[in-house]
Amino acid sequence: MPKVVPKKRDLVMKYIQDFPDEMFRGDSNILFCDACNKAVSTSQRFQVTQHIGTAIHKENKLGKTKKKQQFITSCTSSSSKSTFNNDLCTALIKADIPLRKLDNLNFRQFLKKYISSKIPDASTLRKNYLPDLYEKTLNDIRKNISNGPIWVSMDETTDVEGRYIGNIIVGKLNSYCASKPYLLNTEVLEKCNHSTVARFVNDSLGILWPNGILHNKVLLFISDAAPYMVKAGTALNVFYPKLIHVTCLAHAFHRVAETIRSEFPEVDFLISTIKKLFLKAPSRVHIFKENYPQTPLPPKTVITRWGTWLQAAAYYCDNFSVIEDVISKLEIDAVSVENAKKLIKSTSLKNNLVYISSNTTFLANSITKLEAQNLSLADSLGIVSETVKKLKESPGQVGIKIKNKVEQVLSKNSGLKTVGAIANILNGSDTQTSFEFSLADLGAFKFAPITSVNVERSFSRYKNILRPNRRRFTFNNLKKYMIVHCFVDDEDPS
């Protein structure tokens, strides 16, 4: 007698009756598990029992039961958000751990093992918690800045997607300590000119003071010396009558360092050649370390930081005999080796290295000092004054060109003269000059910055966040992520 196969609907109803505690329900011919929010195959009975025995089903069932009991026994609103989820989202963003790591199976299992709270999906944090964190961060910035007075620093860059990205940093001016810098806004600029920059600054200050911009409380604007930035500073003066525009002094010294580099093409060729020689060449690195284990490898210069070029020139001056000996031991198996062997014999190269090391390498140290945090205005201007004095004392024809370059970059920085005069009032050396600022505003300049390094650091974070395996960010989410990630509150020791 042939086996009678029951109808699918009958099977579904049978399993519901056989497993009354498993949160099954029948939907037409489908057995649906409410705990797991999925359909369960009913072709064979073992498929149902296998599903019931999984750890995921047991965990989901337990969670549904607890949630149902909590709903019955308490009056907590179902729309309230989890404190754990909020703290988890904050921790991941601050540590720059991608939210999508929560969807990694091994990471989820680890968190479930040691954390009793339910682990949310990445999309849950991104959609429901990131916007709230962004708004909270803005409110914290508003609270810390209050009614000012403030300094503003702005710069732009081009990201890997080819977009013009503008970042704006704000800080409170006060007479008792250097304020923390806050990334207030990051936006895509349609173009890079004075009008878009001025509009971006004004719109960003509208975010800081949503009930009305306090135009008389914006006292200092710091940017680079690009012509469109200078023009933007002039345009902003119309709306912010007390605004002093200072172009970054670290950038100014970088331009002087670039001029020095251009005067020594042979040294520049040596630095670039040696860099290529040891780049991705473990056998050559091994020869170097084997013969001179106490000597560091040649420094790798950064093309946009000319101070590193001066430091490299000083290194080759101090370790010329070491480099010469190592190069002599290398086989000519590449163009860079051949070039290095010819170049290292040059007498003019050696003399140029001595000149650079003796007369200009202090400039790299000056740039590093200016880039430090929490400097007073007097200390910053003292570094500038001492550096300019040394640069103007540089001897020879190159010294004349260095002096002319220094005078050129400083003459265009009209705001520097103004903050210099304010610094003289603060240190008591000037009792005659008067300003239209209130006495409280003048005192607030005590820790005013004169470099835009904080914006450059924010771009470094931006580029680190938007690394090759994280290009799926929508810019709206990227902006919120950046503001939260860069924020440091008063209790944060970092």
Q: What share of the chain in percent tops pLDDT 70? A: 92
Show me where the domains of the chain are located: 8-73, 83-128, 134-248+447-486, 249-412
Query: What would the pLDDT profile of 184-237 be if each residue is shown by its tens digit?
Result: 999 999 888 889 999 999 999 999 999 889 999 999 999 988 899 999 999 998
- Does residue 382 surpass a pLDDT of 70? yes
The residue ranking higher by pLDDT, 429 or 290, is 290
Lowest-confidence pick of 217-226, 243-252, 335-344: 335-344
316 CA to centre of own chain: 32
What is the CA angle 214-218-219, rounded to 5?
A: 145
pLDDT greater than 70 at residue 254: yes
Q: What is the pLDDT of residue 361?
A: 87
Q: What is the pLDDT of residue 64?
A: 66
Q: Indicate if the pLDDT at residue 434 is higher than 90.
A: no
432: confidence class by pLDDT, cuts 50, 70, 90 = low
Helix (H, G, I), strand (E, B) or coil at 290: helix
Give residue 4's pLDDT. 42
Q: What is the pLDDT of residue 2?
A: 44
Residue 414 has pLDDT above 60, yes or no: yes
pLDDT at 71: 43
Percent of residues, the chain, with pLDDT higher than 90:
31
pLDDT of 443 over the 50 cut: yes
Residue 7 pLDDT: 63
Place of tokens 């500073």: 233
Q: How confident is the model at residue 78 (pLDDT cuts 50, 70, 90)?
A: very low
Angle among Cα 451, 452, 456 to the nearest 5 degrees reads: 135
Q: Which residues contact 197 (CB under 8 A, 6 or more apart)?
A: 154, 156, 166, 189, 228, 229, 232
On whether the CB atoms of residues 362 and 262 are closer than 8 A, the answer is: no
**Predicted pLDDT of residue 431:** 64
Query: What does residue 360 show for φ and ψ, rounded to 5 degrees?
Result: -130, -15
Residue 136 has a pLDDT of: 93
Residue 77 in this model has a pLDDT that exceeds 50:
no
Could you tell me the CA-to-CA distances from 305 to 251, 256, 302 in Å, in that order?
A: 9, 11, 5
Q: In CATH, what is the architecture of 134-248+447-486?
A: 2-Layer Sandwich (3.30)
Tell me, what's the pLDDT at 493? 43
CA-based nearest residue to 480, from 82, 128, 154:
128
- The DSSP symbol for 445 reads G
pTM of the model: 0.76
Q: Which one is predicted more confidently, 73 or 424?
A: 424
CB-based burial label for 302 (10 Å; 0-12, 13-18, 19+): exposed
Q: Give the pLDDT confidence score for residue 330 in this predicted structure.
A: 85
Q: What is the pLDDT of residue 384?
A: 92
Q: Among 444, 423, 429, which Cα is nearest to 242's?
A: 444
Q: What is the pLDDT of residues 110-158, one digit of tens each?
A: 988 888 888 888 888 999 899 999 999 999 999 999 887 999 999 999 8
Q: Which residue has the higher pLDDT, 150 or 32?
A: 150
pLDDT-derived band at 56, boundaries 50, 70, 90: confident
H/E stretch holding 316 reads: helix 306-318
Lowest mean pLDDT among 1-10, 225-234, 403-412, 427-436: 1-10
CB 154 within 8 A of CB 169: yes
pLDDT attached to residue 28:
59
